[in-house]
Amino acid sequence: MIYGKSSVFNTKKIIVTHPSTGTERKFDTAIYEPVKSAILQSLEGSRGKTFTELTDDVVKIIRKKMPDFKKSIPWYTISIRLDLETRGIVETFTEKGKKLNRLNPRPPKGK
């Protein structure tokens, strides 16, 4: 993971990358880590979840852990899920015409 420091707020940042476009954005680790954890928690033991199911789970988890969080949880969920796909931790697949998300059964070594 790539971390940096913002001189204005002195917060740690992580660069998230879109798997198809390679577009990079910097997120505060204070947001990235809890949302990543919620995504992994939601997908743990699941054979696959739609984006709506995943987002509903993440919203519930984040609302409990971070009740004062006022930003768009679905937007962060998709952005961080795409980054996790880039890192090989999460994968998207189609089954019976539905696009589903799951933990990669063969995650890259060291992740």
pLDDT class of 9 with cuts at 50, 70, 90: low
> Residue 6: what pLDDT?
39
The SS3 of residue 29 is helix
DSSP symbols for 32-100: HHHHHHHHHHHHTT-S-B-HHHHHHHHHHHHHHH-TT--S-HHHHHHHHHHHHHHTTSEEEEEETTEEE
Average pLDDT, the chain: 88
**Right CATH for 3-103 from 1.10.3470, 1.10.150, 1.10.10, 1.10.357:** 1.10.10
Structure tokens at 81: 């899920």
Domain boundary assignment for the chain: 3-103
Q: What is the per-residue pLDDT across 34-75, written as a single tens digit (0 to 9) for each?
A: 999 999 999 999 999 999 999 999 999 999 999 999 999 999
Question: Counting beta carbons within 10 angstroms of the beta carbon of residue 76, is it exposed (0 to 12), middle (13 to 18) or buried (19 or more)?
Answer: buried
The whole-number pLDDT of residue 29 equals: 94
8-state DSSP, 107: P
pTM comes to: 0.84
**pLDDT score of 5:** 43
